[in-house]
A and B are shown apart, each in its own frame.
Chain A
Amino acid sequence: MKIAQSIRNIVAYFLLVLLVSSCVKDKLTTTHTLFKPVYKSKSAVLLDIKSSSPTTLLQTGKLFKYGEYIFVNELNKGVHIIDNSNPAAPVNKYFIAIPGSIDMAVKDNTLYADIYTDLVAVDISNPAVAVLKKVMQNVFPERQYQNGFMPDSSQYIVDWVKYEAKDEQDFLDNQNRGVQNPIFFSNFLANSTNSGVTKSAGVSGSMARFTIIDNYLYTVGRSNLSAINITNTINPVMEKTVGVGWEIETIYPLKNKLFIGGQTGMFIYDVSSPANPVFTGSFSHACFRDPVIADEKYAYVTLRAMEQQGTCWNGTAAQRNELDIVNITNLAAPVLVKIYDMAEPKGLSKDGDYLFICDGKAGLKVYNAADVLNLSLIKQIKTITPFDVIVQDGLAIVVADEGIFQYDYSNINNIKLLSKIVVGNN
C-alpha cells in the first residue's frame, strides 16, 4: 500500500515536471557600448574654421613644426597652434576647429588638414586670423565607417556620444555566435606625424599621412597615394591617385622619393615627375604597424604588434615589436640588414648619427646609429609614453600621451628637458 502510494507520488511528480518544463526558457541580455554621432551642418562647420582662443590639449595627435610654431592635432577636433619661438617656454596661442581632423601639413603659410573625407586649405599667414580658403571634397574616400553605418553626407560629425544599448533575446545556443562590434571607424585613422623637410614647408614626424615635396602635397589613404598640386597654395588641385598595397599608414619624403609604410611592408615611389608617382621598390613584412624614415643608405622601420590579433593574414605571429634596418642602396631591391627588439615602437626620427625612437611604454630611446649594425643606446627617457618625435638642430619635440615635451640634445651626453605642455593642464 505504502509502496503503491510512493509510486503514484513519483509519477505525479514527473508529470508535473513535464508540465512545468514548458515554462523554462533561457535568456540572454547583451549590452553593447555604442557611439552615436553628433552632427553639424557643413556650412556651419566650415564657418567655424578660423582661429579661436587656445583650448586645453586633451588628446594629442600629430605634430608639425613650421617656423616658430608647432602645430599639434587634437584628434578629430582641430589644430592647436603653439608659439615655440622660445622652446623653453612654448605658449599655446590659438586653436582652429576642424572636426574629424587627424593629419596636417603646412607650406607657405597655408595649413592643409583633413576634415573627414575632405581636405581644407587654411591661410595662416597671420595665425591669429586663420582664414579658410578652399575645401576639396572626397579626397579621402576610404575614411569610412564600419558595421553598415552610413553618415549623413550633407553634414559633418563634430562629436561622438558613448552610450549602452541592451538587447534581450531567448537564448538557444550561441556558443558559435561571433562577437558583434559596435560602430567604429576603419583603421585608416592611425596616429602619425609628419615626415621630412622641404623648403617653405615645415617638418613633420614619421607617422604622418601627409607630406610635402616642393609644390606637391602627397597624402596616403588606406590603399592609395594622392598627388595634389599646391603651386597655388590656397587652391590645391588633385592631380593623380595611384593604388599602393593595402592598410597603408605613413609616408616619408627623401629628396624625390616617397617611403610609404603599411601593415604589409614599405613601398618606395619616385616622384621625379611630381604629378606621377612611380613605384620603385618594396620591402615586405607581415601584418605590423609600420612607420618608416630614411637617409641616403638605410630605411628605418618600426614594426608594432597588433595586440588584438593572434596571427597575421599569412599565419605568422602578429605579436612582434622591432626596429628593422633596411639597406636601400638599391631602391628596386631593399635588403633587411638588422633587427632590433623593441617594446612598443611607434614614431622615429633621425638627425645625423642620432636615432630617436618612440618606444611606447618603454619611453623615448636615443641611439648612436653611426654603425647601424651596432646601435648604441645613449639615453632612455621612461617618464613619457611617446608616439612621435621631430628632431632638428639639437631640439627634439616629442608628442606623447602625456603632452608635448621638448628636449635639448645639443650635448648628446646630457639631454635635458626644456619644456612641457601637459595634457589637460595648459
Chain B
Amino acid sequence: MKKLTSLFFLLVIGITRISAQASASKNKNLLSNFHSYNTVQLLNGSTTTSAAIISVNGFQFHHFFTGIGVGYDYYYRRSIPLFVETRYNVVGKIRKLQLFANAGANFIVNQQNKNFVNKTGPYKTGRYWSAGFDYFIPVKTDALTIGIAYSSKQVIQMVDNYTWNPLLNRSENIPIKEEYLLNRMAVRLGWVF
C-alpha cells in the first residue's frame, strides 16, 4: 500500500510539472519532445521465469517524462498491462540514468489462458505497477537502455465451482475467487527513440 501511494504521488508530481513546463514552452514543437521507450524484460519470480514486452510512449519536458504504456506479459497468465508511466532524469537533463514508476490495469488474455482446463471461470481486471531504473547507452540520437525493475501484476479469476447450496437446496455455481499477486524482478533491455 505504501509503495502504491508513493508511486501515485510520483505520477501526480510528474504530470503537474509537465503541465507547468508545457505552458511555459508553448511555442516549442511538441513532437521534438516525443519519445518511445520499448523494452524486453526477463521476469523472475518465485513461481517461474518468463518475459514481457513493453512500449511506453509520451513526452519529455526537462527532467520529467510522462507517457502511456502497454505491453504483453507472459508471466504465469498472459496479460496486457496498460498503465501511466513517469520517468525522471537523475543526471541533469541528459538521459543517462532514469528512475521510473508506473501504475495501471492488468487485462488477462482469456483465449491464451484456456489451456488451464482444470479451472474454468472468467477473469477480472487486476492491478499492475512497477518501478526501477534504466541506464542509457547513447546510439546517435537514440539510446540502448539496460535496467532493472520490481514489477507486480494482479490476476483475478472467479473459478467455477459447482456445489450444493443448502440455502437453495440445489446445486449451483458458487465461484471461488482466486487473486494472484505476482511479484517479479525484471531485467530490462530496450531501445528508446
Which residues of A are in contact with B by a Cβ distance under 8 Å? 6, 9-10, 13-14, 16-17, 20-21, 24-33, 35, 59, 61, 75-76, 102, 146, 160, 162, 170-173, 175-176, 178-187, 189, 191, 307-308
Pick from A27, A59, A162, A308: contact of B162, CB below 8 A: A308
Task: Find chain B residues with CB under 8 A from A21 CB.
Answer: 44, 185
B142 at the interface (CB under 8 A from A): no
Structural contact, A26 and B118, CB atoms closer than 8 A: no
Q: A24-B183, A184-B163, A185-B169 are in contact. List 19 more A-B contacts (CB 8 A).
A: A10-B135, A24-B185, A26-B45, A26-B181, A27-B183, A28-B179, A28-B180, A29-B179, A146-B164, A175-B119, A179-B176, A182-B161, A182-B174, A184-B164, A184-B165, A186-B164, A189-B170, A307-B162, A308-B162
Which residues of B are in contact with A by a Cβ distance under 8 Å? 44-48, 76, 116, 118-119, 135, 137, 146-148, 150, 159-171, 173-185, 187
Structural contact, A17 and B148, CB atoms closer than 8 A: yes
| B50 CB, min distance to chain A CBs, angstroms | 12
Cα distance A308–B171 when bound, in Å?
A: 9
Task: Find chain B residues with CB under 8 A from A9 CB.
Answer: 135
Structural contact, B167 and A160, CB atoms closer than 8 A: yes
Pick from B116, B161, B180, B185: contact of A17, CB below 8 A: B185
Given A17-B185, A27-B180, A33-B174, check contact A76 B166 (CB 8 Å): yes
Structural contact, A185 and B150, CB atoms closer than 8 A: no
Closest 3 CB pairs of A and B: A184-B164, A308-B162, A31-B177
Task: Find chain B residues with CB under 8 A from A178 CB.
Answer: 118
Structural contact, A181 and B45, CB atoms closer than 8 A: no
Cα distance A180–B161 when bound, in Å?
A: 8
Structural contact, A173 and B159, CB atoms closer than 8 A: no
Structural contact, B147 and A184, CB atoms closer than 8 A: no
Structural contact, B183 and A162, CB atoms closer than 8 A: no
Task: Find chain A residues with CB under 8 A from B159 CB.
Answer: 179
Structural contact, B167 and A26, CB atoms closer than 8 A: no
Pick from A20, A173, A191: contact of B48, CB below 8 A: A173
Pick from A25, A31, A308: contact of B183, CB below 8 A: A25
A-B contact pairs, 24 of them (CB 8 A): A13-B135, A13-B148, A17-B44, A17-B148, A20-B185, A24-B45, A24-B150, A25-B46, A25-B183, A26-B47, A26-B76, A30-B176, A30-B178, A31-B176, A33-B176, A61-B169, A162-B167, A171-B47, A175-B116, A179-B161, A179-B176, A185-B169, A187-B164, A187-B171
Cα distance A183–B185 when bound, in Å?
A: 39
Cα distance A171–B148 when bound, in Å?
A: 23
| A173 CB, min distance to chain B CBs, angstroms | 6
Structural contact, B183 and A26, CB atoms closer than 8 A: yes
Residue of B48, B161, B168, B175 with highest tally of chain A CB at under 10 A: B161
Structural contact, A184 and B166, CB atoms closer than 8 A: yes
Task: Find chain A residues with CB under 8 A from B164 CB.
Answer: 146, 184-187, 189
| A231 CB, min distance to chain B CBs, angstroms | 32
